[in-house]
Structure 1
Amino acid sequence: MSKISDKLLAGTSKPTRVPAKLALADGTIWAGYSCGATGEVFGEVCFNTSMTGYLEVATDPSYAGQIVTMTYPQIGNYGVCPDDVQRDHTALRGMVVRDMCYTPSNWRSAESFPAFLARNGVVGIEGIDTRALVRHIRNAGAQMAVLSTETLDDAQLLAKLAAAPAFVGTNYVEQESCDEPHEYTAENVPAGHQFAYGKAPEAKYHVVAYDCGMKDGILENLVRVGCRVTVVPWNTPAEQVLAMHPNGVFLSNGPGDPDAVEGTYSQVEKLLGKVPLFGICLGHQMLSKACGCTIEKLKFGHRGGNQPVMNLRTGRVEITSQNHGFGIVYSSLGELVPEESGGIAQHAEDLRAYAEAHVAPVVCNEKVGRVQLTHINLNDGTPEGIACLDIPAFSVQYHPEAQCGPTDAHYLFAAFVRLMDGRSDYLDIDIAQDRLAGWTFAEQKEAQHA
């Protein structure tokens, strides 16, 4: 930056600039300025394409061990509302933005986002070309990086990065899960959300939720469909869960490599067929691994609130919120059953072929019988959801609670209740109707025109 630009910035709300650098494992270096805590952190660099929801991203435990790049150009303009945090701490290592706003404007805002990052020890960098960085990650793939306000020498940064622990193979779930079982009921729902949501219904079912790094928004949505939730640590023995006599078991989202979370999927294997199961994100991978599925590392993953997913059972397309860098290999679950797969006998390399054929394929699995592919990602054809047809269990790869993101997939919480009701058509829900369930905006509009 020139002396003239420094002089111009001095007359704005921007603070005194502290240099910072981001170095990638492939040797690429990006220079910018600090916009959060100062320090030096290591993690896998990734990107999120959401236009809003930076606070939810910063407090989502699924980002443990990662440095997140926000693709939207200005971050922080509506500030921070404490009721919207997804956990009581931040899990991500660092935040990368094009331009950080220090003077937010929003009636719900309690502080600025850079102040929140600094207070929570999250190192941030602004002033770099995030579009170019995202293109680089898309081409080169997600990789380890170091973000620093302390070491500005390129050679020293890369040397430190080379000695940092790898992201793959590390169990981040252990550090993000709760320590002891606890209850979550309607009384725990933030009062600050009442301006938008109606009152939660009386609890109909008791659900035990494995906390693999769960977002509070998920618990809130379970409560809003009539569940009383007992949250348990990630490695709670299946026998202990069954002793609670739950109506269903929920498998939460969470960070990192699914293969490193043996303490969860080994317990899920013992629960198969004994109680209705619903998993999202990492929970989807835990259910799949319990069925013997292979997991693969995606080149750069899916992170953002605008991922198109098709429900192959209904043909409806949902715009979804996602945050994951690993995915399941559907073909590893077993051979196709042609008579239940539209006559198709061989697995498709690109799963979008099933969308074109209007087929939700079914495989024969050694452990649980028939497993149907229920959802696929329309951007790249990766699997996004499965349903076990011979036992009560289903899962999706994305985040249906919409923190942050659209509400198209909210119906999956209602589907879980229908599964606990014993209905075989639990996934066949009109999302156009369900996506507005529980919101008060329509009621307020009707009252204004009465």
Structure 2
Amino acid sequence: MSKIAEKLRVATAKPAGAPALLVLEDGAVFAGTSCGAPGEAFGEVCFNTSLEGYLEIVTDPSYAGQIVALTYPQVGNYGVNADDAQAEKPALRALVVRDMCPTPSSWRSQESLGDYLGREGVVAIEGVDTRALVRHIRDAGAQRAVVSTTDADAASLLEKVRKSPTLVGENQVVGVSCGGSYSYGVADLPASHDFALAAPADPRFKVVVYHCGVKRSILDGLVRSGCAVTLVPWDTPADEVLTLSPDGVFFSNGPGDPDAVDATSRAAAALLGRVPLFGICLGHQMMAKAAGAKIDKLKFGHHGGNHPVQNLLTGRVEVTAQNHGFCPRFQSLGALVPELSGGATEHVDDLREWGRRSIAPVVANERFGRIRLTHVNLDDGTAEGFAFLDVPAFSVQYHPEAAPGPTDAHYLFGAFARLMEGRGDYLDIDIATDRLSGWKFGSTTEEEVA
């Protein structure tokens, strides 16, 4: 090889990282190289199927306690911009990718993803056959794992991971909630997003957000829909929230086992019927728990931006962004009300059957009256949304903010506004037109948007 060719090779070649190992508790081993901070990290391994939005995934507080594998083969190609982060610090334990791009190309990039992970102390491994890893998790289920750049002995790592704590039973929300109440408003919206998004609506609702690990983009969505937001810690008593005289209360997304987050579900139980409520993800589980629902742990969870959900009220299918490993069981909320459930008297195991029948079934809940199943996951038939018919409240298992993900569920912010206005038709919104609401798509002036 000539000197010029060698110089070009050195200048353009990707530097080799230190050896690293990913070891699962069932003994599966995946070798790779370090592409983040050095060290050793334990957590429950899961996979995310989004094609982009890796920084939003890395900084999503709902990943506390987890090792996240990204299924898209190359990660980091457009770099990192701090305004896209969903929290001040990453909460995940480690990141697993097939290929980490060290030289990003984007006009918005501030640094590479690898540099960001190193600076934030996040252990990461690349060179892993992520397709094989995902197939293994789908077959064997989510489980404890370790990523290490300091221990090259797979047997040693396996022994350590089997002694590590499980996600079940641990309150992960404590580590990602806020220490006290604070406000979030128009001034907090990231200015670098103005090129794509229209101006926010004038604030007309006072909304209290239970911070269980809320994503910044969720707060942005509330503000843009006309909410003046006050955030409170996850364990704030309901009476303290009511002293703020809110028009509505929002229960946010968050990490881990919902059965370990008792204070928030108690608050939801105390607030149901006293003020309009909207919950997403963990917040959906908190409201369901308040009504007495049983919570199931999913085999490998729902993580990604391409999960199909059927709206049983309209028949439409929403492509949604999701991130959770637990799900409330609709059947445990009460007995079916036949006259509101197409005459049915028996629950079905697979909730997709209600979509096939074009029925949004209703149960009689002992504490809060009638509760309707509004949304169903078309991948596995689990519950994705409830509407309380006798108190002003609704919840969904997925995320409406599209960071990352599609905009099909944006209408839910508008539905919350309608609920706070006292409208009974708050969920009657055409998602086909609403999904484009608020986007400029490259326009440079308000006149062009209009």
CA pair 212-101 structure 1, distance change in 2 beyond 3 A? same
Q: Give the distance between the partners of 1:448 and 1:226, measured in 2 at CA.
A: 22
Match of 2:44 in 1: 44
Query: Residue by residue, what CA displacement relative to the aligned partner does 1:359-410 show, whole Å, maximum 9, x if unpaired?
Result: 0000000010000000001111111000000000000000110111000000
Q: Could you tell me how far 1:15 is from its partner in structure 2?
A: 2.1
AA of the residue aligned to 2:160: K
Match of 1:394 in 2: 394
The TM-score, its normalising length taken from structure 2, stands at 0.96
CA pair 10-207 structure 1, distance change in 2 beyond 3 A? same
Q: Which aligned segments of 4 or more residues in structure 1 are displaced greater than 2 angstroms? A: 7-13, 441-450
For 1:25-40, list aligned pairs within 5 A: 25-40=25-40
Match of 1:70 in 2: 70
Q: Could you tell me how far 1:17 is from its partner in structure 2?
A: 2.1
Greater mean alpha carbon deviation, residues 432-441 or residues 308-317: 432-441
Q: Give the distance between the partners of 2:118 and 2:87, measured in 1 at CA.
A: 17
Does the residue aligned with 1:155 lie in a helix, a strand or coil? helix
CA pair 293-9 structure 1, distance change in 2 beyond 3 A? farther
- Kept in 2, the 8 Å contact 1:13–1:103? The answer is no
Query: Residue by residue, what CA displacement relative to the aligned partner does 1:222-261 show, whole Å, maximum 9, x if unpaired?
Result: 0001000000000001000001000000000000000000
Q: Could you tell me how far 1:210 is from its partner in structure 2?
A: 0.1
Match of 1:3 in 2: none
CA pair 19-9 structure 1, distance change in 2 beyond 3 A? farther
Does the residue aligned with 2:12 lie in a helix, a strand or coil? coil
CA pair 243-74 structure 1, distance change in 2 beyond 3 A? same
For 1:422-433, list aligned pairs within 5 A: 422-433=422-433
Q: Could you tell me how far 1:439 is from its partner in structure 2?
A: 1.1
- Kept in 2, the 8 Å contact 1:13–1:102? The answer is no
Q: Could you tell me how far 1:169 is from its partner in structure 2?
A: 0.7
- Kept in 1, the 8 Å contact 2:198–2:446? The answer is no
Q: Does 1:209 align with 2:209?
A: yes
For 1:154-303, list aligned pairs within 5 A: 154-303=154-303
Match of 1:313 in 2: 313
Q: Give the distance between the partners of 1:445 and 1:307, measured in 2 at CA.
A: 34
CA pair 10-145 structure 1, distance change in 2 beyond 3 A? farther
Match of 2:3 in 1: none
Query: Residue by residue, what CA displacement relative to the aligned partner does 1:26-45 show, whole Å, maximum 9, x if unpaired?
Result: 01111100010110000000
Does the residue aligned with 1:441 lie in a helix, a strand or coil? coil
Q: Give the distance between the partners of 1:369 and 1:417, measured in 2 at CA.
A: 23
Does the residue aligned with 2:296 lie in a helix, a strand or coil? strand
- Kept in 2, the 8 Å contact 1:177–1:212? The answer is yes
Q: Could you tell me how far 1:165 is from its partner in structure 2?
A: 1.2
Number of aligned residues: 444
Does the residue aligned with 1:293 lie in a helix, a strand or coil? coil
Query: Residue by residue, what CA displacement relative to the aligned partner does 1:133-174 show, whole Å, maximum 9, x if unpaired?
Result: 000000000000010000110111011112111111110101
Q: Give the distance between the partners of 1:292 and 1:13, measured in 2 at CA.
A: 57
Does the residue aligned with 2:41 lie in a helix, a strand or coil? strand
The TM-score, its normalising length taken from structure 1, stands at 0.96
CA pair 341-73 structure 1, distance change in 2 beyond 3 A? same
- Kept in 2, the 8 Å contact 1:322–1:397? The answer is yes
Greater mean alpha carbon deviation, residues 437-446 or residues 245-254: 437-446
CA pair 184-449 structure 1, distance change in 2 beyond 3 A? closer
For 1:303-382, list aligned pairs within 5 A: 303-382=303-382
AA of the residue aligned to 2:402: A
Q: Give the distance between the partners of 2:260 and 2:399, measured in 1 at CA.
A: 21
* Structure 2 unaligned residues grouped into runs of 5+: 1-6
Match of 1:96 in 2: 96
Q: Give the distance between the partners of 2:299 and 2:354, measured in 1 at CA.
A: 23
Q: Give the distance between the partners of 1:250 and 1:436, measured in 2 at CA.
A: 23
Q: Could you tell me how far 1:349 is from its partner in structure 2?
A: 1.0
CA pair 353-9 structure 1, distance change in 2 beyond 3 A? farther
Does the residue aligned with 2:87 lie in a helix, a strand or coil? coil
Query: Residue by residue, what CA displacement relative to the aligned partner does 1:236-293 show, whole Å, maximum 9, x if unpaired?
Result: 0100000100000000000000000001101111111000000000000000000000
Q: Give the distance between the partners of 1:378 and 1:391, measured in 2 at CA.
A: 28
For 1:109-188, list aligned pairs within 5 A: 109-188=109-188
CA pair 289-103 structure 1, distance change in 2 beyond 3 A? same
Query: Residue by residue, what CA displacement relative to the aligned partner does 1:201-237 show, whole Å, maximum 9, x if unpaired?
Result: 2101000000000000000000001000000000001
Query: Residue by residue, what CA displacement relative to the aligned partner does 1:67-109 show, whole Å, maximum 9, x if unpaired?
Result: 0000000000010011100001000000000011000000100
Q: Could you tell me how far 1:12 is from its partner in structure 2?
A: 3.4
AA of the residue aligned to 2:136: H
Q: Give the distance between the partners of 1:8 and 1:99, measured in 2 at CA.
A: 21
Does the residue aligned with 1:323 lie in a helix, a strand or coil? strand
CA pair 231-448 structure 1, distance change in 2 beyond 3 A? closer
AA of the residue aligned to 1:124: A
State the identity %: 62
Q: Does 1:435 align with 2:435?
A: yes
